[in-house]
Chains A and B, each alone.
Chain A
């Protein structure tokens, strides 16, 4: 039987491996987190290995026969524009993750900066930042993104897409991290650091940041998941990188070209399976991370 509390089980050692094990131990005992990471890992592995072993140039139109069921030459079949669907799924998975990661990272970085500024300086700075965040949080994000994306002339790249989504992705992290910093600011160890004469930035980087890391990680996962959700939604509406074979664009094309009416089951199954694995993985990781970073949620 494994011990549930490594801190009690082991006498204090200072080796870096020991510290890592102690930090990751509880995380690895969270089945949701482990299962979610495994799902996401296998999807990433599929994308990376596929990119190495398979010719992803086939993901563009007119690279194969039209609307053929899976065969030896095209293991996942082809769509009505002659895209090879194995290549499309490989590239689509990577591109969709790319959009999510870029937008999520920018969102959390910008949101965290705003949160630190607001919580640390307080007063009017805090009031203005919080008011803007609150108002923007009330506006349904997808709709604002629809207006933004439809104002872009022509088609955009996946990077532009990520930036469009990032323009709203900072709202949630800003509000949540601000609340957390406000709580931490009043804690005894920050008071201790202040009494011993540490400067503001020193307290932010040596006292607040390290304690916020699990929290920032949880926020990042939420932000990436939300960004993927938004990007797939926009693309399924036909707003996005129309020339790129992302998973959302594949959904758009199969609906526009009437894959259901034509009976092209292979075209429907592949992006759906990839997206379901992606969303379930991110859900499990974020639930697991929440439990990990907020111990009160464990044992429920």
Chain B
């Protein structure tokens, strides 16, 4: 019952977060000295590459925001369209809808970031658990501090270092891109291998830069768990070390790690922005970067809104999954 109350509060927070993000997108262009969206549109219609299109876009823009109506009505219309995922049209590629642009970029980002995050989570958790375990191999004690310092660096910085070493100096991996320029996208082995080859370096930069923080958190939990009575009891019972490590130690220490993993998975698209920029990887981050370069405001706002929703949803998911992982929460005994 206790848990239901928490859940209700979480859903409220989710709604608040989404509405905050939407409000920000609505208010910011109006706060700026000149409305950046309108001035961008006017600038484009003046330079006039494709005047007809821009004019119809301007009409759509005015109709959508209903600039002659009271601002409160405009605001609620805007919220309504966002909740049906109507994110408007791209300014640079006019007839293309922002939602379509995001949908075509999303698989790249999820593919790269999901895989890299899971690998980093598994490696880091195991490493952290082993470092805290007294019977662990000694060399781990030497290697781990180095890996933890890597966690101080943002993904993209490590990405630049890796590009410099592996692509620029040693020519082992391609400099950039999601696939070769000559490759034709499709579901065949050649293309799949090409995509994998191109994603190794970006994935490696994410794994290297995040493995340390997983290890650090797991080590802390493992140290705490080892002080528990049941650990002593299991040893007194003569259980084998492997069983004590996996079933008694790791299983209890891993709970907060699962929470962090779910949150991290929600942040996938947000964390990817700069990695994708550095590697020119064709995901959501690259879409956002190109939009910033072209002042394509609807795409910027759309991408940010979608990512905020993803983060908020994953936090809600954590709250739904947690009782499955930890029975104490189901019964309210933890309180």
The chain A residues found within 8 Å of chain B, CB to CB, are 131, 134-136, 138-140, 142-144, 146-148, 150-153, 229, 232-233, 236-239, 251, 255, 260-261, 263, 265, 268-269, 272, 275-276, 279-280, 282-284, 300
- Residue from A136, A138, A150, A232 in contact with B311 in the complex, judged by beta carbons closer than 8 Å: A138
The range of chain B's interface size is: 35 or more
CA distance A239 to B295 in the complex (A): 11
- Do the beta carbons of A144 and B292 come within 8 Å of each other? no
CB distance from B61 to the nearest CB of A (A): 16
Interface 1/0s, chain B 1-40, versus A by CB < 8 A?
Answer: 0000000000001001100110011001101111010010
**Given A139-B308, A140-B311, A300-B223: A272 and B13 interface contact (C-beta under 8 Å):** no
- Residue from B149, B167, B278 in contact with A283 in the complex, judged by beta carbons closer than 8 Å: B149
8 A-B pairs with C-beta separation under 8 A? A140-B270, A146-B292, A146-B300, A150-B300, A151-B32, A239-B292, A279-B153, A284-B149
- Do the beta carbons of B167 and A260 come within 8 Å of each other? yes
The chain B residues found within 8 Å of chain A, CB to CB, are 13, 16-17, 20-21, 24-25, 28-29, 31-34, 36, 39, 149, 151-154, 156-157, 160-161, 163-164, 167-168, 175-176, 219-220, 223, 267, 270, 273-274, 277-278, 288-289, 292-293, 295, 297, 300-301, 304, 307-308, 311-312, 315
CB distance from A252 to the nearest CB of B (A): 9
CA distance A148 to B292 in the complex (A): 12
**Given A147-B304, A282-B152: A237 and B34 interface contact (C-beta under 8 Å):** no
- Do the beta carbons of B300 and A135 come within 8 Å of each other? no
- Do the beta carbons of B270 and A153 come within 8 Å of each other? no
CA distance A122 to B277 in the complex (A): 45
- Residue from A131, A144, A284 in contact with B304 in the complex, judged by beta carbons closer than 8 Å: A144
**Which chain A residues lie closer than 8 Å to B300 at the CB level?**
146-147, 150
- Do the beta carbons of B304 and A135 come within 8 Å of each other? no
CB distance from B194 to the nearest CB of A (A): 20
- Do the beta carbons of B20 and A260 come within 8 Å of each other? no
The total of Cβ contacts below 8 Å across the A-B interface reads 120
**Given A147-B24, A260-B167, A261-B175: A283 and B152 interface contact (C-beta under 8 Å):** yes
Main SS of the interface on chain B?
helix
Residue of chain A at shortest CB distance from B212? A283
- Do the beta carbons of A151 and B20 come within 8 Å of each other? no
Main SS of the interface on chain A?
helix
**Which chain B residues lie closer than 8 Å to A136 at the CB level?**
20
**Which chain A residues lie closer than 8 Å to B176 at the CB level?**
260
